Structure 1
Amino acid sequence: MDFTLSNDVVEFRAAIRSIIAETVTPEVVDEMHRSGTFDLPALNLALGAAGYIERAVPGLGKGDPVELWVLFNELEKAGAPFDGLAINIMIAGVVVAVGTDEQKARILPSIISGEAGVCMGYSEPDHGSDVASITTRAVRDGDEWMINGAKMWTTMAHKATWLILLTRTNTEVPKHKGLTMFIMPMDTPGITVEPVHTMATERTNATWYDDVRVGDDAVLGEVNSGWRTMTVALAFERGVMGGTNAGVPLLRHFRLWADKVGLSADPFVRYQMARTAIDMQVATLLTQRSAWIAGSGGLPGLEGSMTKLFATEAYQRSVRAFQEMAGSSGLLQFHEPGAAADGFIDYDARHAPVTTIYGGTSEIQRNNIAERHLRLPKAR
């Protein structure tokens, strides 16, 4: 198989790198970690103005899987604040896949221009990975739906224009079948957002919904088919929209620091750096496979699970090894004197565990692979 990039993709990568160079400065990265908001409006607007967001949305744009991979690979290698952008492209793909024509016309233009962001209300305080057990209720009230409940880990809710919200609309059927997904403006009356700061510097949010009223035009997909709508989003999230090459900037930061302090000559250190580079290359190939399926109109649910499981656990192994080799200086944070790799070793050590949780824990990914690929009996 020839992995050489075509001339069109090479030009696309150069354009993405140019936009990153213009918008993602050291000051931007520092502010990202200080505020916990991993989003950059200037970057989103520049990509939108160039048509690259529309081009990347599964089912809407050019549909080139290599370009989809290149976009997020370049953002990830640069350490850019792209979490918001990834959510935006992912949910735009969901609207394309299951939304009505009216929803597509009303919602998509603001997202693909880079002007509007999206957040996702899935997990709840008492139902993290067991999303099907959620209790946030949407009850029919005349021509409207009235929603009450609470969500946790609603990342980007403090900046987003749109919200997709998973609710329970039928309590008389099996838990997976009584769910409905809604999409609504974040300024809809009755929505409250409170910050939740994580150990890895990212800010997420807890959100509350008190007598939130929306019409049928807010139903995304079919009533009581919210589980299917959510699986579309998860298929795009796992292994496609970034998060699979976090070991690349980690390796770059560690290597520069190791060169500076004289660790690079140690054979074991060199072995570990080579191991990380190999793992990230494998993660790249798995990501390209998932992106190819998404860009070709498919849903890479199984392939995404394989990609996410390998990439995030390899990242976690690498940063654990690097932190051990860095010693006490690997425990120092940004702006602390003597911090290994300017504090990035500590940051990655706190960030890596989180990557094995969001978008479905490693245990969920293993269950998915075991049941759907290996055809093993269900574990639940």
Structure 2
Amino acid sequence: MDFTVSPQTEQFRTEVREVIRTHFTDDERHAVAQSGTKHSWPLHRGLAAAGMLGAAWPVSEGGQNRSPHEMDALYEEAARAGVPMAGFSTTMLVAETIRRVGTSEQRARVLPRVVAGEILIALGYSEPGVGSDVAAVQTRADRREDGTWVINGEKAFTTTAEEADYVFVLARTDQKATRHRGLSLFLVPTSSEGFAVSAMQTLGGERSNMTFFSDVVVDETALVGDVDTGWQTMLVALDFERGGEFAAEMKRMMDLVSTWATGEGNAVSSNTLRRIGRAATETAVAGLLGSRATSLRAEGRAANLEGTMAKLYATEALQRHSSQLLDALGTSGAARGNAVESAIEGMYRHAFVTTIYGGTSEVLRGVIAERRLGMPRTPRATA
């Protein structure tokens, strides 16, 4: 693995930093914090204008043919600036899936609007009572004689659905099939009759949503991938959801803690220094795990397992050390005494949901144990 940072990556990092500085102003930061919506339209359109949406795609598809290392720099700069990237991330995840398994009509209809920064796509996987066990979804899609589909069900934690143009919905299309079979994915317009959104406020101060599908009718062009192969299609998407992006959040945490520790009037005990040292060490490890996944992707190789390892390690370390470092701040941290202390306290609350994104830690441990270590599948508990 080559640890040398290319001049192209550093130049791209500088360009990303400038776009963020220009479009994610203090006023916009405040507006996003007040709304709880994890998306900034001014920044999203600024990234689009700079060609950074779909920047890893070929020029022929509206991209800049950027390397995975350069895209890592984008995520790292966004994380270190505290930029809300949920809308960006879910939209690009679905767009990457459409690039690979979508029809030519879907690619022509959706991808240019993604690159132009015109649309957002939210994920409709989780459901009440299901959580990360998405193979147990109850939302159903029934095919009618005219070829259209009728979707009924509920989804939980449909983040940015209040701003999105589509929800990428996982639904059961064969009611008799086993858990991982009989599932299909649909790109459902949020303008559809029978679609509704209800806000959910979270511990991290972020707005998520419950979404409801009541006899929502879509035609064949909404089906992404083949019928009853939704689980395999979703695995394509997950390959882009697990990687080194959470190591960037750990680096932001270390930036904040360093600012606090060197601030005037802050007495840093030897115990706190030990906590900072442990956090710095695990931040470096998280970065290396993420870099390994990125390097494999840069070589055109699959990195799902390496990305899974990187995501698991970084999110658990983030949760552990944000708690330890908030504790080191004492009462001023809990009271959010200043901007830095408020940011650290907010990161602590946000850290909990990171161990759920892209599959819970328990699910990811199972993936690693089975697919990398060759261990037998854990039997499902029965009532």
Question: What are the superposed Cα offsets for residues 102-122 of structure 1, whole Å, 9 maximum, x if unpaired?
Answer: 100000111111121110100
- The percentage of aligned residue pairs carrying the same residue is 39
Give 2:317's match in structure 1, choosing from 314, 318, 321.
314
Give 1:90's match in structure 2, choosing from 93, 100, 103.
93
SS in 2 for 1:199: coil
- Equivalent-residue separation in structure 1 for 2:339 and 2:261 (angstroms): 9
- Equivalent-residue separation in structure 2 for 1:329 and 1:269 (angstroms): 15
Please report how far the alpha carbon of residue 217 of structure 1 lies from its aligned counterpart in structure 2 after TM superposition: 1.0
Task: Letter of the 1:331 partner, please give it.
Answer: A
Task: Letter of the 2:370 partner, please give it.
Answer: E
* Distance verdict in 2 for CA 1:291–1:233, change over 3 Å: same
**Are 2:333 and 2:341, in contact at CA under 8 Å, matched by a contact in 1?**
no
SS in 1 for 2:152: strand
Give 2:156's match in structure 1, choosing from 134, 146, 152.
152
SS in 2 for 1:308: helix
**Are 2:75 and 2:248, in contact at CA under 8 Å, matched by a contact in 1?**
no
Question: What's 1:363 paired with?
Answer: 362
* Distance verdict in 2 for CA 1:35–1:57, change over 3 Å: farther
Question: What are the superposed Cα offsets for residues 32-84 of structure 1, whole Å, 9 maximum, x if unpaired?
Answer: 22211111112111221222212135996425110111110111111112111
Give 2:193's match in structure 1, choosing from 189, 212, 221.
189
Task: Letter of the 2:44 partner, please give it.
Answer: N
Question: What are the superposed Cα offsets for residues 252-304 of structure 1, whole Å, 9 maximum, x if unpaired?
Answer: 22222232254464333223223222222222222222234445555432112
* Distance verdict in 2 for CA 1:221–1:281, change over 3 Å: same
- Equivalent-residue separation in structure 1 for 2:354 and 2:55 (angstroms): 26
Question: What are the superposed Cα offsets for residues 179-226 of structure 1, whole Å, 9 maximum, x if unpaired?
Answer: 010113211111100100101011000000011111111110010000
Task: Letter of the 1:147 partner, please give it.
Answer: I
- Equivalent-residue separation in structure 2 for 1:141 and 1:298 (angstroms): 40
- Equivalent-residue separation in structure 1 for 2:298 and 2:165 (angstroms): 26
Matches of residues 92-131 of structure 1 in structure 2 within 5 Å? 92-131=95-134
Question: What are the superposed Cα offsets for residues 81-105 of structure 1, whole Å, 9 maximum, x if unpaired?
Answer: 2111111111110111110111000
Matches of residues 190-209 of structure 1 in structure 2 within 5 Å? 190-209=194-213
Question: What are the superposed Cα offsets for residues 125-176 of structure 1, whole Å, 9 maximum, x if unpaired?
Answer: 0211211111111001122101111100101100011221000000122111
Q: When the two structures are superposed, what TM-score results if normalisation uses the length of structure 2?
A: 0.92
- Structure 2 portions without partners, runs of 5+: none
Give 2:214's match in structure 1, choosing from 210, 214, 218.
210
- Equivalent-residue separation in structure 2 for 1:317 and 1:22 (angstroms): 33
- Equivalent-residue separation in structure 2 for 1:117 and 1:292 (angstroms): 28
Matches of residues 1-380 of structure 1 in structure 2 within 5 Å? 1-57=1-57, 61=63, 62=65, 64-142=67-145, 143-239=147-243, 242-260=245-263, 262-263=265-266, 265-333=268-336, 338=337, 341-380=340-379
- Equivalent-residue separation in structure 1 for 2:285 and 2:203 (angstroms): 28
- Equivalent-residue separation in structure 1 for 2:371 and 2:4 (angstroms): 32
- Structure 1 portions without partners, runs of 5+: none
* Distance verdict in 2 for CA 1:296–1:103, change over 3 Å: farther
Please report how far the alpha carbon of residue 239 of structure 1 lies from its aligned counterpart in structure 2 after TM superposition: 1.5
**Are 1:65 and 1:288, in contact at CA under 8 Å, matched by a contact in 2?**
no
SS in 2 for 1:208: strand
- Equivalent-residue separation in structure 1 for 2:234 and 2:300 (angstroms): 17
**Are 1:138 and 1:146, in contact at CA under 8 Å, matched by a contact in 2?**
yes
* Distance verdict in 2 for CA 1:205–1:58, change over 3 Å: farther
Q: When the two structures are superposed, what TM-score results if normalisation uses the length of structure 1?
A: 0.93
Number of aligned positions between the proteins = 375
**Are 1:23 and 1:42, in contact at CA under 8 Å, matched by a contact in 2?**
yes
**Are 1:324 and 1:330, in contact at CA under 8 Å, matched by a contact in 2?**
yes
